[in-house]
Amino acid sequence: MQTMLVTGGAGFIGANFVRLMCQARTDTRVTVLDKLTYAGNRANLAGLDIDFVEGDIADPAAVEPLVAAADAVVHFAAESHNDNSLRDPSPFVYTNLVGTFTLLEACRKHDTRFHHVSTDEVFGDLEIGADTKFSEHTAYAPSSPYSATKAGSDHLVRAWVRSFGVRATISNCSNNYGPYQHIEKFIPRQITNILTGQPAKLYGTGAQVRDWIHVDDHNSAVLAILERGRLGETYNIGASKPGDAHVTNKQVIETICELMGGEYVHVADRPGHDQRYTMDATKLRRELGWQPQHTDLRSGLEQTIAWYTDNRWWWEDDKEGIERGYAERGQ
């Protein structure tokens, strides 16, 4: 039986990936390493036959034995919220840079396959209304402490591949949505606002564009890259294809409000709000034959709304405190 270490496996994307592995790769034993910070939740893994270790990816004593026992490491763990990085960048430097370094050193020592999960935000942003997309050759231009530390971690992986022969791949993905996403994130915040009798909150004008992808499609791409991707390569992941219309944040909120019978209000924009992200996933589609399954955003939002409606126990206790924090910032 193969063994896999999934860092950040109790978080949103990581937990959904662990669920995919348990369903699709029953010959692989999964160990999750997660620090259980605000975005990590042990309940995300309820009912799964896995091994769970609470620990810090920047702690060599925690990382070393787990990597030594693994055939592959899939690295989701990261501090990942832009707003939080603007208030205190230090955890982002520690986790995203020192943590990735610690994992790479362990993988170098034990010759363990490594896949690094990253973000489209390392590229900066694109002009609204243009037809440009981020490709694997787009120069990095991060605009926040979060995206800067993720860019740095990407470069660490590339350097360890070239300098030390670490068997690694990188993926950069667009904005995810789906079940188990923390309710301070854009889509679940709007859904849970309406479920609690509040209006949805649109930052600024809502003209910003995101290349939304369902978390299950992201994770099927990660698995394809892990199993069939060329070592040392980077693959962009995104659900849009040529000719697709750009979807603004305003349109997303309007769709959610239409589906739920809610209303929205405008609130203060986020500092340094990137304008548009659009990914060119041609390389992934051509080389590995990957295709997204959730191609209709409206349908995906309906499914996501249903999940948050049916699982109020998962988020309701945290809602009041999170909204209080946003209110203090005029959002």
Residue pair 18/32 in contact by the 8 Å Cβ criterion? yes
The answer to whether 79 is a known catalytic residue is no
Residue pair 109/39 in contact by the 8 Å Cβ criterion? no
How far is the C-alpha of 220 from the C-alpha of 239, rounded, in Å? 12
Instruction: Say how many Å lie between the first and final Cα of the chain, rounded.
Output: 49
Instruction: Locate all alpha helices (DSSP H) within 25-144, ordered by sequence.
Output: 60-68, 82-87, 90-92, 100-110
- Look at the alpha carbons of 213, 216, 220, 225 in this order and tell me if their dihedral is positive or negative: positive
Among the options 34, 56, 79, 120, which is catalytic?
Answer: 120
Q: What is the number of residues in the chain?
A: 331
Quote the tokens at residue 88.
């205190």
Among the options 121, 125, 280, 323, which is catalytic?
Answer: 121
Helix, coil or strand: residue 317: helix
Q: Which of 208, 175, 327, 312 is nearest to 265 (CA)?
A: 327
The answer to whether 146 is a known catalytic residue is yes
Quote the tokens at residue 163.
């300098």
Helix, coil or strand: residue 171: strand
The answer to whether 120 is a known catalytic residue is yes
CA distances to 108, 177, 196, 231, 251 from 170, rounded to whole Å, are 16, 20, 39, 9, 31
Quote the tokens at residue 41.
């939740």
Quote the tokens at residue 58.
């920047």
Q: Sheet harboring 168-173: ordered strands across?
A: 51-54, 28-34, 2-7, 72-75, 113-119, 168-173, 234-237
Among the options 79, 146, 235, 308, which is catalytic?
Answer: 146
Quote the tokens at residue 39.
């975005």
Among all residues, which ones are annotated catalytic? 120-121, 146
